[in-house]
Chain A
Amino acid sequence: MSSVTPRPYLEVKDLTVRFETDDGVVQAVSGSSFSLEAGKTLGIVGESGSGKSVTSLAVLGLHRTRSNAKVTGQIWLDDQELVTASNEEVRALRGGKMSMIFQDPLSAMHPYFTVGAQIVEAYRIHHPGVNKKVARERAIDMLARVGIPQPSRRFNDYAHQFSGGMRQRAMIAMALVNDPKLLIADEPTTALDVTVQAQILDLIRDLQAEFGSAVIMITHDLGVVAELADDVLVMYGGKVIEQGPAIDLFQRPQHPYTWGLLGSMPRMDREVRDRLTPVKGSPPSLINLPSGCAFHPRCPYAGRNGDRSFTDIPVLTGGAHSVACHMSAEERTKIFQEEVAPNL
């Protein structure tokens, strides 16, 4: 596979995605880097407009049909660079080596084609020599593997005839039909009920073990990330502001925004708190990002180190568990232990 320096299965370097709109340039992602090994799960957490979904769409090259999108940086998938690759090269990978499942399986499936036909289509586009019958068998096999009862009958049903959970299973069957090595799941359980969510997360975990794929799990729900992810990326305003191994990140979160996210969540595994401790204010506009650290208008600790928060963009530093914050590691640890942790 790889030559001298072994590259991770997926490596994203300095990815920037901009959209030119009538209102101005939207800085959807500005310089994010991360990597992911085969068989591992990366959780990307953030609120709306954090750039988490755009990042994944860029990996899949789905921005290419939008004439106003501009992508720079590098995306290496299995030693192939995707940003500079041709449309056709990326298309051939899409749905094959890398595939994606989406938030709302009802709107993500075509209403006029049967679920089976849509899976068959996905299979045959990457297996041109395969006849319809074989593809149909493959699709039914996949439906069975994702736990859909009576798969050969459900093959002929339309998406609207499935329940929410079954629909997401079918969507997963479609995404996995070509044995992808990278699966991107964009809020795959947000539209589902909690008991169904548990089933789907279970399914993704089992299938990952079976297929050995790398998984990117994009979600706003820290609980979902904690369930699945080996590593976690926290995004804010189009940037990665904290990243690290899941256990480390949840036990010793470093960035004030991560603290705020954790403080916003009522937790079932703790005593009920008197009050939640959310971040104040709202997420920034991506057209007009705040100067310096994009989080500074909402950060209770901005200004502790002079004006740097308002002028300099903090760089992600710190090795395996890295953070983009102007405060020193000691300072953050002290604040977390004294002020933040007791309120979580």
Chain B
Amino acid sequence: MSENLLEVTGLQKHFPITKGLFKRQVGAVRAVDGIDLTVQAGETLGLVGESGCGKSTAGRLFTRILEPTAGKIVFEGQDISHKSVTQMRPLRRDVQMIFQDPYSSLNPRHTIGTIISAPLQIQNIPTPQGLKTAVQELLELVGLSPEHYNRYPHEFSGGQRQRIGIARALALRPKLIIADEPVSALDVSIQAQVVNLLEDLQSEFDLTYVFIAHDLSVVRHISDRVAVMYLGKVMEIAHRDDLYKNPRHPYTVALMSAVPVPDPVRRDRAQRDRVLLTGDVPSPINPPSGCRFRTRCWKAQDICAVEEPPLVRRLDDPDGHLTACHFPVVEDEAVAGRKPATINV
């Protein structure tokens, strides 16, 4: 097993909510509410979950764009949890981010050349071949023409802009790239091109990815390991094949069964096997006691409201397959059509 590039323990990020005359703090959005994760060098860790589960906040914490409320972030053995902007600067070389919206993450008034060379200049990276050549090499690397150097972002299509964002992230030859929904704003065929590009770059430069997305099939395609988040917590984490073949957490099961499959022949079966979650995700301001998923879970029992299940190995799962559930789903369990159980709190 390779070494851990990033280690996260007990990570929390609470955004305060203020109210009233004196803006007194009346609560907090517990966007990330205690997660433990490791990212190993060279792997791709997928982070999936629905909107509001805290996956993007988690990504911003990993890159220290945000400062954690509690918990520890260790990058290459260095605790970076509370490093200042200045202290973080040398580390910015090693950790880069790719964003969802290729339209708003590029300054419209800067040329592609300026955008991609900015990290090199800020970090004072020597470019023996010259800055312009360095940028042009990056452009070629991500499948754009070096002649695009002097063009502006609006002259590019969505897919091309995402390539520009990737080139910028790549400029410093980082070790870790946090990609936050990098393909969700793109058309299907462009999505696949960018996914392929990310895979190629990973093998060429030994990159480590944290791939944050809501699309379970894309995450499955690209990731080595996958963590499923719900309401600021990791519900289940496992190697990709373990997770998709043997999902243990009822939420993971529900999530996977909801993905539409492009095969009309299987339509009826897919619909029959589907676990329809009722209701909405509870508010992250006041998450349910005990297990956070219990309000929508068909397996919930009284204990779920009282005791928060730890993220541990369950049943005969292989190493590294951890589930935070009191009643994990066993194989071939009939799950479809179950309604949430009524629990007495």
Contact = CB atoms under 8 A, between A and B. Distances in A.
A105 interface: no
B267 interface: yes
B276 A223 contact: no
Contacts of B254: 195
A264 B258 contact: no
B221 A223 contact: no
Contact of B192 (A202, A225, A264, A269): A264
Nearest to A149: B279
B81 to A, nearest CB: 30
B196 A268 contact: no
B277 interface: yes
Given A194-B259, A220-B187, A265-B217, A250 B196 contact: no
Contacts of B216: 194, 268
A264 B190 CA distance: 8
A283 B160 CA distance: 12
Interface string B46-60: 000011000000000
A276 interface: yes
Interface residues of A, number: 48
B249 interface: no
A193 B244 contact: no
B13 to A, nearest CB: 21
A238 interface: no
A272 B188 contact: no
A275 B258 CA distance: 24
Contacts of B217: 265-268
Contacts of B241: 272
A322 to B, nearest CB: 18
Given A164-B51, A264-B191, A268-B217, A229 B260 contact: no
Interface string A213-257: 000000011111111010000000000000000110011000000
B265 A247 contact: yes
Contacts of B262: 222-223, 225-226, 250, 262, 265, 267
B274 A198 contact: yes
Contacts of B214: 193-194
Interface string B253-264: 011111111111
Contacts of B270: 227
B258 to A, nearest CB: 4
Contacts of B196: 275-276, 278
> Is the contact region of chain A dominated by helix, strand, or loop, or is it mixed?
helix
A199 B277 contact: yes
A283 B157 CA distance: 9
B301 interface: no
A194 B192 contact: no
A250 B255 contact: no
Given A195-B255, A250-B264, A265-B188, A272 B220 contact: yes
Given A268-B220, A268-B256, A220 B188 contact: yes
B189 interface: yes
Given A195-B255, A266-B220, A276-B192, A223 B261 contact: yes
B189 A279 contact: yes
Contacts of B195: 266, 276
A201 interface: yes
Contact of A261 (B189, B215, B256, B258): B189
B159 interface: yes
Most chain B beta-carbon contacts within 10 A, residue among A194, A221, A224: A194
B40 interface: no
Nearest to B52: A193
Interface string A25-67: 0000000000000000000000110000000000000000000
Given A202-B276, A264-B191, A267-B217, A272 B240 contact: yes
B261 A267 contact: yes
A221 B188 CA distance: 8
B264 A247 contact: yes
A268 B259 contact: yes
Contacts of A288: none
Contacts of B264: 226-227, 229, 246-247, 250
Given A165-B280, A198-B276, A261-B188, A269 B261 contact: yes
A261 B189 CA distance: 6
Contacts of A223: 259-262
Contact of B50 (A194, A222, A250, A276): A194
A226 B267 contact: yes
B190 A282 contact: yes
A264 B183 CA distance: 12
Contacts of A225: 262
B261 A226 contact: yes
Interface string B230-264: 00000000001100100000000011111111111
A166 B191 CA distance: 29
Nearest to A271: B241
Nearest to B244: A268
A199 B280 CA distance: 11
B266 interface: yes
Chain A to chain B: the 10 pairs with minimum beta-carbon distance, closest first:
A223-B260, A278-B192, A266-B221, A264-B192, A193-B50, A198-B258, A47-B187, A276-B192, A222-B262, A246-B264
Given A223-B261, A282-B159, 4 more contacts: A195-B276, A229-B264, A266-B221, A269-B266
28 contacts: A47-B187, A163-B280, A163-B281, A166-B280, A193-B51, A193-B214, A194-B50, A194-B258, A195-B255, A198-B260, A198-B276, A198-B277, A247-B264, A250-B262, A250-B263, A250-B264, A261-B189, A264-B188, A266-B217, A267-B262, A268-B217, A269-B261, A273-B221, A275-B196, A278-B189, A278-B192, A282-B157, A283-B187
Interface of A: 47-48, 163-166, 193-199, 201-202, 220-227, 229, 246-247, 250-251, 260-269, 272-273, 275-280, 282-283
